[in-house]
Structure 1
Amino acid sequence: MISPKAALSSSMMLDNEKLPEYSYSFGVYRVEECPMNQSEWEVAAERRQCNKTHGYHCAPDKYHSTLIEFCYTKKRILIHTGNCVELAADGILNHVKCQNFTNGCPEKPYYSNELYTYPNCMSLAIGCFTSDKECLKERFNKLQGSRTIKQTTEGIPVYLIALPVLICFVVVIVLIFIFRRKVSKINQREHNGELEETENLNFITEDFQVSPIEENQSKYFL
């Protein structure tokens, strides 16, 4: 059994400052482990200067990334069967279902300041309760996937990564250039056709024009 003195020292190891990134409405403090029995709980409550209206608590944070201790806004709350606890939102003790636990899920109601009676509700790893095998499996697969992607890209020269992008860019530019040339040729052909039609029309008009001399001669013969 861990002595009150040992629990006090371990809970203070990560107790240097508050954790503002949580946006809780009151101070919370990171600890390596929570008190594991009533006497250790009382020692920690005295150290934190909690009281009857603001009871001492130790529970997982909202991300299940670490354990935190704090003086809650109430003495305690009732936790229903089949639930652990987390400090959620801006500082609310929230029920967390533990039906996926392999063991250690509370089988009867209990008070939040008696969480030490269910140590599996205070055991965390990679954002999961260690008894929640489904959560652990999912997180592990995600971590493995991230590592695989990182390993496949590590050691590859930058030019090998940038080369396909550059080739695609050049191909697009060439296609645009070819397209614009084709459009320009089509427009030029249409323009030349219009000029040719105009010249033919002028030629025909000139053929049918009668000079003044021819007109006078025609009158003379008449």
Structure 2
Amino acid sequence: MFLVTKSCPRDVRGWKTRGKNFNCSNPNEVYHCLPDENGRLGETCTKGPAGWVEKDFCPEYNRDTNDVNTVPCHISTDCPDEAFKTNEVYKYPVCLQGSSSAHDGGTSSLPWHIIGVAVGVIALLVVFSVVALICYRKRRRRTSLIINL
């Protein structure tokens, strides 16, 4: 179960308090608060011990598999500089930004492929406009030549 929340604890004390209140009933479960694959922050209990996250990666909850995965941190600064356990994500606020901004630095909520398509469409419009302008000027020049004859 993954319950969407507005924020995650930002320190060990808050993490332990929230974890107790969330009440992971099975002793083998570990409390987590982290973004899911859609960038929504949420709380969950996962089975087994907390996993490890590599340097320059962030943990992310996968709702399809009900498991914690790791994804690259695409921010130039403040990414994790050492390996850490998935339930210690509070040490790296950049990984708790949610809304997929943990992957793109919070600079845009649009996926890169959408931005690329938009740039491509704009480039095509500019090219077509230039071609239309050239054709218009040639036609105008021909018309003025015919009138002058």
Per the normalisation by structure 1, the TM-score is: 0.46
Instruction: State the 1:137 CA deviation.
Output: 7.1
Give runs of aligned pairs for residues 28-67 of structure 1, distance below 5 A.
28-50=2-24, 52-64=27-39, 66-67=40-41
1:97 aligns with 2:72: yes
Query: Which letter maps to 2:104?
Result: D
Deviation of residue 48 (structure 1)? 1.3
What do the CA deviations read for 1:51-92 (whole angstroms, capped 9, x no partner)? 54101001111222x101011112311111111011113211
Q: Give the match for residue 125 of structure 2.
A: none
Structure-2 separation of matches of 1:109 and 1:67:
21
Equivalent residue runs for 1:1-222 within 5 Å: 27-50=1-24, 52-64=27-39, 66-88=40-62, 89-98=64-73, 100-125=74-99, 128-130=100-102, 132-133=104-105, 136=108, 138-139=110-111, 142=114
Aligned 8 A contact 2:101 2:109 in 1:
no
| 2:108 aligned counterpart, secondary structure | helix
Which runs of 5 or more structure 2 residues have no equivalent in the other structure?
Answer: 119-149
Aligned residue for 1:152? none
In structure 1, distance between residues paired with 2:37 and 2:81: 23
Determine the C-alpha separation between the residues in 2 that align with 1:110 and 1:135. Answer: 25
Number of positions where the alignment pairs a residue of Structure 1 with one of Structure 2: 115
| % identical aligned pairs | 23
Note the alpha carbon deviations across 1:81-132, whole angstroms, 9 max, x for none. Answer: 111011113211101011x31212111000111000000000024xx22562
**Partners of 2:44 and 2:50 in 1: how far apart?**
12
Q: Structure 1 runs of 4+ off > 3 angstroms?
A: 137-143
Give the structure-2-normalised TM-score.
Answer: 0.67
- Provide the C-alpha distance between the structure 2 equivalents of 1:117 and 1:106, rounded to a whole number of angstroms: 8
Amino acid across the alignment from 2:88: E
Output the amino acid matched with 1:109: A
- Tell me, in whole angstroms, the C-alpha distance in 1 between the residues paired with 2:9 and 2:50: 16
Aligned alpha-carbon RMSD (Å): 2.7
Higher share in helix: 1
Partners of 1:79 and 1:112 within 8 A in 2: yes
Report the secondary structure of 2:47's partner residue: coil
